[in-house]
Structure 1
């Protein structure tokens, strides 16, 4: 078991990580979730209507906008679900991993081959999917959520249908397809190519430079960079689908958000007279992964699928060589 000092260091490192990454993750989720249609649209009667919502064009602009409108509490939206999930994972590691592995950070997914890693990754995704949905919705909701009242927060974030039948979260149209496609591309694509071109990187420790072909390394580097073209849209689509709530009222589409009796007593931010982000109308929800991609392109343009693409690129590079 970890000693007292080691435990304090572990808790301290987790606190610092959450303090840094929660605001950055929140800005990223909001930036990708923000609905920013083209300048002119047609209303229900066919008349041209200009878009009047907020226009945010960069990750850092979103970060500044969140702070300007909602200040520090807004930057730390999503803190509690992130803290809960991080605590659960940490306790699991403490219980099931040796002290030396924890101290040196040597935990990784089991080395069971490509198919084994694919199965493991999909299983882990399925376990964490409800937490991912709740976190994304907590970040994007315009309402102020209390840190220590999960029942109240869940009433804001989930519809009565989702609270009564929580497994319906797994049936959110297109979400599982987006998540599985992302995992499959990374595991079956990048990992397989890396094993073929650079098997030395799979060995523990740093390989000797003479053992690695610079040509193959350059090819893999380019492929890892090119993966941004595929993965960035999947990440944007996954966020859009995660914040789209499931509702089963007969007068609405089964995936449309209810309009009455939900979040009617929610607390707003004091002095806030504008929303941080715009959200797409719930009367015409996305009905799947492909439909989501097509509508984003038609309504907002190709660039919306590549918001904060450089963060995806950095993730591709770090994941490819880890």
Structure 2
């Protein structure tokens, strides 16, 4: 159990981390969520209409656009759900896992064996999935959500169906399949290969790295990046796709039953930071989402910010 000063130091560290991570994550989510079709789209009457949304080609281009349109406050969209989920997970780890070194990496879980790690990751996935959905939606909404009025924010971000039946978030088409597939690849694939090729001596905090084995694992990381990045892009798209009892609602407007009428947009903005796909024609699942992204936006859209995934895997491989 952590002492008082250790706990204070931990939460100060978390606060500093959030100040850095929240803007970077927000830009990543928007970049991967931005709908950028490569051809003409059909309107309600079947006529061809050119796409008029923003065309952003890079992660840093998206960062510049967010700052230009919404300023610093726009970079910190999603702060409150991220802060809440981080605090809850940290407290659970401190109280129930009896460790003074809780881990917060996306690609690492406690070393309890392959199946123990898999069980831990699946449990944490089910715990964190609703918060992740709310966080992604709060990042991509064009509205300025209040920091200290969660009820009002949830009425904007969630449909009436989702508020009445919150478990339906787990039934978002394809989302759970994408997240579980991601965990299986990391834990059952990359994890054992890392321990085989880059073993950690028990009496050292430095991995026992052979250049030949490291080169092999670097190739494996590249292959893992090629598989995991599309899953992450798909998960982002599916998380912001809201669930309705009827398909007649237009989720993209994020205004259902007047819930967003008294929520303001960012001052001085005449355009949204990103374009969102019309959810009246929703993705039907993981495979359908991948196919439609390729057909409508090109295969390169599935690999947006691939280097973020690559650096995450590389950092996990080199971490003690």
Identify whether the pair has TM-score above 0.5, normalized to the shorter chain. yes
Q: Which residues in structure 2 correspond to 1:50-61 (within 5 Å)? A: 50-61=50-61
User: C-alpha displacement at 1:253, in angstroms?
Assistant: 9.8
Partner of 1:150: 150
Q: After the TM superposition, which of the residue ranges 19-28 and 6-15 deviates more from structure 2?
A: 6-15
Partner of 2:215: 218
Give yes or no for the alignment of 1:183 onto 2:183.
yes
User: C-alpha displacement at 1:257, in angstroms?
Assistant: 7.3
Per-residue Cα deviation, 1:238-279 (whole angstroms, up to 9, x for no partner): 000000000003746999977554423322112211101000
Give yes or no for the alignment of 1:8 onto 2:43.
no
User: C-alpha displacement at 1:165, in angstroms?
Assistant: 0.3
Contact 1:252 1:258 (C-alpha < 8 Å) held by counterparts: no
Give yes or no for the alignment of 1:286 onto 2:283.
yes
How has the CA–CA distance of structure 1 residues 232 and 262 changed in structure 2, closer, same or farther, with 3 Å as cutoff?
A: same
Distance in 2 of aligned mates of 1:119 and 1:94: 18
Q: Which residues in structure 2 correspond to 1:1-322 (within 5 Å)? A: 2-96=2-96, 101-102=100-101, 109-198=109-198, 200-201=199-200, 203=202, 205-206=204-205, 209=208, 212-249=209-246, 251=248, 260-322=257-319
User: C-alpha displacement at 1:24, in angstroms?
Assistant: 0.6
Distance in 1 of aligned mates of 2:279 and 2:257: 13
Contact 2:141 2:254 (C-alpha < 8 Å) held by counterparts: no
Distance in 2 of aligned mates of 1:129 and 1:208: 32
TM-score (structure 2 length as normaliser): 0.90
- Which ranges of 4 or more aligned residues in structure 1 deviate by more than 6 Å? 253-258
User: C-alpha displacement at 1:73, in angstroms?
Assistant: 1.5
State the aligned residue count: 317
Distance in 2 of aligned mates of 1:135 and 1:104: 20
How has the CA–CA distance of structure 1 residues 118 and 6 changed in structure 2, closer, same or farther, with 3 Å as cutoff?
A: closer
Distance in 2 of aligned mates of 1:175 and 1:6: 37
Distance in 1 of aligned mates of 2:51 and 2:201: 51
Contact 1:67 1:74 (C-alpha < 8 Å) held by counterparts: yes
> Unpaired runs of 5+ in structure 1?
none
Over the aligned positions, Cα root-mean-square deviation in angstroms equals 2.8
Contact 2:90 2:102 (C-alpha < 8 Å) held by counterparts: no
User: C-alpha displacement at 1:176, in angstroms?
Assistant: 0.4
